[in-house]
Amino acid sequence: MPSPRVSAWLVKGWRLAALLLAALLLQRTTPLTESALTRLGLDDAKAFFPGAKRLKSGPNQTLLVQDESGNRLGRLVTTSPDADSILGYAGPSNVLVALDNQEKIVGTRILSSEDTPEHVDTLRGNAAFEKAFKDWRPTTQPTPKLEAYAGSTLTAYAITESIQKRLSGNYVSLRFPTALSLKEIQGSGFPDATSFEPNIPRLGWNLVRGPNRAHLGYVVRSSPSADEVVGYAGPSETLIAIEVDGLRLRQVKLRTTYDTAEYVSRIQEQEPDPQGRTFFKDLTKWTTREWAEFDFRKGELDTVSGATLTSYGIAKGLQTRFADDAHGGHRSKQDAQQRLRTAALWCFLVGALLMTFTPLHGRPVVRTVWQILLVGGLGLWLGQLLSLSLFAGWARHGIPWSQAPALLILGGIALLVPWGSRRQAYCHQICPHGAAQELLGGLKRLHLAVPARWHAWLSKLPAIALAGAFLAALVWPRWNIGHVEPFDAWILGIGVAIPLTLAVVGLLASVVVPQAYCKYGCPTGALFKFVRSANQAETWGRRDTWAAVVLALGSVVAFFPRADFAAEETPEASARQAVTELHGAAFGTTWTVKVRGSDVDAQILKRELEAEINRVEFSLSHWRESSATTDFNRLESTQAFGITQELADTVEFALKLSAASGGMYDITIAPLTSLWGYGPAGKLPDPTPAQLQAALAKVGWSKLKLDKENLTLSKSHEGLHLDLGSVLQGLAADRAAKILRAQGQHEFLIEVGGEILAAGSWRVGIEDPFNPRVMLQTVLLTDRALSTSGLYRAKRLAAGKPVSHILSPKTGRPVEPTLEMVVVTHESCFQADGWSTSLMAVGFEEAKRIAQREKLDVMLVTPDKKVWRSGK
């Protein structure tokens, strides 16, 4: 038999081992984020690692590839979502990257892309492109040298940058690699320049010197800040000459561009107006500070007619360039604040140790002051509270040694001090929530005595909550374990309802029952009590037995076969993982279809989808000369016009939207859309009041009569025209889904011009209307459609101001924006498409009323960034 001292150390060692085992079980059950990784199978791994037999979830959204013996061969990662902000010509690409155990790239494959299909297709399977990445170690080596790829250079650059960002956390822009020359500076507003040098610390700024090294001013490149700002078909780089004061712009000059040559030439060859102004001259009206805060929605900038998006992209590049400079100063302030917060946390750690190991904790005044500091400083200001969710996060995703050393030491103190010294340092001397309870419980005359029997049972609740939360986290790894504790309320405030409720109830209870939550509710406190030594002759107790039982149950859960954590080589798994991606063009935009499953004949499926989507466009769009809609529009008569069942159903739903919106949604608005330059005739001069009045006479949904029984449509004004553009892309998506289901496909994602329809579960992104380069949020779309409508992509100017593409059929003018974006999810993409436009037209308050009345699933975003959601 071991001596009592040895036995005590064995028991204490077991308790630390129990914590380690719990962490390993949590790490094993860490789920993969819903992404392309969740759809990868062994066939994907074998393309890079022929000996692959098993895939296992790894840290940082990685799939670990193992051989038959469980030895690691390498890992698989995808560039999305980390690098989704890096755009090629038209959008980001998601690339699968295989790395060996030395972190060298074994191979790559383009999984999906929102870039221009022809550019992506040039690179798919291109042996030279794939070979360029072989043996590259992105974490320590510069980017490989890329050749020109038949017009797909920008896509190739974007993919390379995405790989570097995903694996190293940062990237060097490859878009505009040419170094600045003195000749360029002389031609950019400083003809007397004799030299230039980097203006440290302002990255990208060059100080220009003249004769006798006189300071003439600065030249700034918009790259790399503006490299992700796409005009019509790609980014542009400008040279910006700035006066000596660093504020006033002297000249702006286009240096290099990937945009469409025709639109670029329109800007460069623009004739000055009578005042001698040109687009580039206008850009110098604002200072660098004004550009940093420039609001394009105010319409102060006149873009170039016929090259609106290209000129907007150039101006947006300036705004991005100087906004980055301004944010750099902001980041410096943030860094200083962070250093102050870190120093304060270290002070609290030192103070906690003093309060734990010295007689200071027994002095009432000192203790009260310390508790006030804990509540106000460590709690409300720093928000540094230990919790189960924090420990579980470290177990699942790794310990942040370099990012948060002080917080790690706080966790170490909380666990090791009671383990080694029997003193509850965290619960008694550090926890802000405990300090708040002690302060609130200061009025002893309000205290209630808890009967001993009740106390005995209630005191078991924290341990039960700890065991339950641990097992629940293993069974449901995506569940937020923070919901069983009040501590998130200190960090996140009123936005977390459950923790806030627990916090308020616990604090109120402590007024009458001292330390009520600590005694009868805190699972984190139970964790610290588990490791705490009772005395020097520590023996095995009931807590150890129950801990062993809970860990045994947890091991069963963690090692039970689960599809989330490992993929075995089975035909069913491979069929479920494979994804076929098809692309096409229609409605003046593009469409994409992704199909899960290996039983897909891509060639036949694409042909049928293309035929059906084109049929919808050519039979119903007023842009097509052959469509029934165009035939009806040409009819200068009030007589009944024979129509198809499909057109009748489409018009019937559109009339329903008109009635629901009080006429703000109107499919007879075609005369107005044409007048404002959105029709087949293209851009026209700004309409005059007389033109608007003439067009309004031909508009009005009540002037349209539908006879569904006889399949006829008539108009009470000969000049009335239909415009079904607000629903046709959604209708095409529904029709494409019908084709796919007829082919036996049940898991697919359809996107037609931004309208999305999902069969099965797919994660999709909703663009941020205030920064379209990033996602406002991602949602898991399951057997539903999603449609967005917004003002943030206005492509028309009126009186020099950007205006909405949504027009009021009552005034004939673009709607006044009370909404920035509408998102509608619905079983039908056709209906989601129509409702999103209808709600956009009526404005925020009326949109809320309609959404509630019609039981629509809607998200509304206002220009002041207010978000309102309704649910069915």
pTM: 0.48
Q: What is the CATH number of domain 635-723?
A: 1.10.3980.10
- For strands 62-66 and 54-58, give the pairing: antiparallel
| Helix/strand/coil for 456 | helix
pLDDT of residue 17: 94
Give the mean pLDDT of 413-427.
Answer: 88
* CATH of the domain spanning 761-872, picked from 2.40.50.100, 3.40.640.10, 3.10.520.10, 3.30.365.10: 3.10.520.10
Q: Where are the domains of the chain?
A: 32-168, 182-329, 358-559, 578-621+724-759, 635-723, 761-872
CA–CA distance, 675 with 673 (Å, rounded to integer): 5
pLDDT of residue 797: 45
Mean pLDDT is lowest, of 138-142, 394-398, 576-580, for 576-580
Tens digits of residue pLDDT in 836-856: 989 988 888 999 999 999 999
Whether 576 has a pLDDT exceeding 60, the answer reads no
Burial category of 621 from C-beta neighbours within 10 Å (exposed 0-12, middle 13-18, buried 19 and up): buried
pLDDT of residue 600: 76
CA–CA distance, 774 with 778 (Å, rounded to integer): 11
Please indicate whether the domains covering 578-621+724-759 and 761-872 agree at the CATH topology level: yes
Tens digits of residue pLDDT in 459-471: 999 999 999 999 9
Tens digits of residue pLDDT in 507-548: 999 999 999 999 999 999 999 999 988 776 788 889 999 999
Q: Count of CB atoms within 10 A of residue 23's CB?
A: 16
Tens digits of residue pLDDT in 347-402: 999 998 999 999 988 899 999 999 999 999 988 888 888 888 888 877 876 676 65
Give the mean pLDDT of 687-694.
Answer: 83
- Quickly state the pLDDT bin for 774 (edges 50, 70, 90): low
Mean pLDDT is lowest, of 403-412, 515-524, 697-706, for 403-412
Tens digits of residue pLDDT in 193-220: 999 998 866 777 899 999 999 999 999 9
CA–CA distance, 322 with 796 (Å, rounded to integer): 26
Write phi, then psi, for 117 (nearest 5 degrees). -55, -40
The single-letter code of the amino acid at 132 is A
pLDDT of residue 564: 38
Mean pLDDT is lowest, of 200-204, 568-572, 696-700, 733-737, for 568-572
| CATH topology (fold) of 578-621+724-759 | T-fold (3.10.520)
Whether 710 has a pLDDT exceeding 60, the answer reads yes
- Quickly state the pLDDT bin for 175 (edges 50, 70, 90): confident
Q: Which residue has the higher pLDDT, 145 or 794?
A: 145
The single-letter code of the amino acid at 119 is H
Q: What residue has token string 């992209």?
A: 313
3-state secondary structure 665-691: CCCCCHHHHHHCCCCCCCCCCCCCHHH
Provide the percentage of residues in the chain whose pLDDT is more than 70. 86
Tens digits of residue pLDDT in 790-803: 775 544 444 444 45
Mean pLDDT is lowest, of 202-216, 546-560, 672-686, for 672-686
Whether 681 has a pLDDT exceeding 70, the answer reads no
Give the mean pLDDT of 691-708.
Answer: 87
pLDDT of residue 402: 56
- For strands 748-752 and 712-715, give the pairing: unpaired
